Amino acid sequence: MNKTAIVLFFAAGVVAAGSEDAYAAKKKSLPDLRPVPGHVIDHEGINVNPVPVNVSRPYNGYLNMSGGFDLSQVPPEFADCFKSIKSTPGGIPVEVSCGKEIAGRFGLPEKNGAYHLSIGSEKVAIDAYDKDGLFYGINTLSQIAKGVSDDNLPMVEINDYPALKYRGVVEGFYGNPWSHETRLSILDFMGRHKMNSYVYGPKDDPYHRTPNWRKPYPPEEGRKIKELAERARKNHIDFVWAIHPGGDIRWDKSDYDSLINKFSSMYDLGVRQFAIFFDDIKGEGTDSHKQTALLNSIANDFVKKKDGVGNLIVCPTDYNQGWANPSDSGQLAVYGRELDPAVDVFWTGKVVCGDIEPASMEFVNSRINRPALVWWNFPVTDYCRHNLLMGPVYGLDTTLDGTAMARRTPWRMARHQRVRFTVWLIMRGIRLHTILSITGHVHFRKLCPVLRMHMLHLPYIPVIPQRITVAMSPGMSRHSDMTIIPRNSLQNLRKNLKK
């Protein structure tokens, strides 16, 4: 992505240099930041993301890892899970085991991905419910190892397991799809953070929807899909390929055969789970009865006959409560009566982009007669492509135990969460003062008051409107009083400011 610069516009203020009273008065006038909902968790000094269910330190000692880890006792089938840590013969012994009975010894639930990690005085042990749990345990060990400032691992006992069966991302936005390199990077990121589902369905992939959904991918694009599926498997992620045929589907045998042939070609590329999207369409494609008949046929003729294929997923036309027909003749109720129970159904909530609330989930679940799959449109920006949405996360009800999964739609700028800011004061087009520099996760709602506070420390009295230039990497959009200007246009910006 092209690097960009952002210009923030603030009202001018007159501050007497060295005036403590003026500074104190100005400080009191700053708005309070909105508190982020949640509760305090004692991490026991251990930084793991996501936070494990239970972390305890029954002993206060440490295990020195400078000599690496001895993986000689790790079964060969689990060796690929240990690539993130240093392997050295004679290092710290690492013992692993998997199975229902093994997990039961440590009080773990019978859930895919459950694991127990023990860092003791002489060895490391990972006991898991399944291979996914072992992979997650290794990632937790790796995070702990990278998080210490020296070579001493804290002795710790961790029990951890996922709250939701499926956790991941839907690349389903409008606009330029992510690059192949970005997708590979995101799959690695998801694996490190214990997510397990990636739905590929970018609206502007021409072979995903009308008019080219019937055609196979060109060889080079097919090679990329195959590489994505392979990378997903290495990260213990289900790669779900979606098709969007509703815009011009004819509901005849020819189109049905085209769907089966397309799915078969994707299967040959390594895809093992599929989805059909009927969202954002009009006309014949919205027929609820024809949709369910098609889905049932594909489930029976393809999904259940192919080896290793996961449940079929559908995004209905009525995918949110705001425009869903609530009556017994509505699409959701038709799904509940006619759709194969093994087919999962997406749902975005009360509206297209909104909170996930119990009332909305009860609305959909009671009609489709199965737990809905949450398609959480956050922080998707395809409906406001010139905005940068970087506020705090809120609106997720943590009591929703009837939800099968949560997949979020990200925004088009894939690497927004790691941002480097260098903030300068620009007066008359001249860079006068570096205000602050930040690398990491930054919320603009929190950043703007910080910028104002730094301006109060300037050793002179501002007498004209200030321009705050924020050099950012990677490319971004704009939000509110922030305007995008490419980095290579900074000289032109300064010329314009001089005028």
Candidates 402, 399, 352; CA nearest to 375 is 352
d(CA 426, CA 465): 10
Residue 42 is among the residues annotated as catalytic for this protein: no
**Tell me, what DSSP letter sits at residue 253?**
H
Q: What is the dihedral of CA 96, 85, 75, 98, to 10 degrees?
A: 30
Q: How far apart are CA 105 and CA 96, in angstroms?
A: 14
Amino acid at 144: I
Identify the active-site residue in 188, 255, 280, 340.
Answer: 280
CB 458 within 8 A of CB 425: yes
Burial code (b: 16+ CB inside 10 Å, e: under 16) for 147-185 equals: eeeeeebbbbbbbbbbebbbbbbbbbbeeebbeeebbbe
SS3 state at 437 = strand
Using CA atoms, how far residue 31 sits from 27, 58, 264, 301, in Å, is 9, 43, 57, 60
Those residues whose C-beta lies under 8 Å from the C-beta of residue 388, and which sit 6 or more positions away, are: 381, 416, 444, 476, 477, 478, 479, 482
How far from 366 is each of 301, 336, 370, 445, CA to CA, in Å?
28, 8, 8, 38
Place of tokens 């214990």: 194
Angstrom CA distances, 134 to 85, 120, 353, stand at 14, 17, 35
Beta-carbon contacts of 32 under 8 Å, excluding residues fewer than 6 positions away, are: none
Identify residue 200 by its one-letter amino acid code. Y
Residues serving a catalytic function are: 280
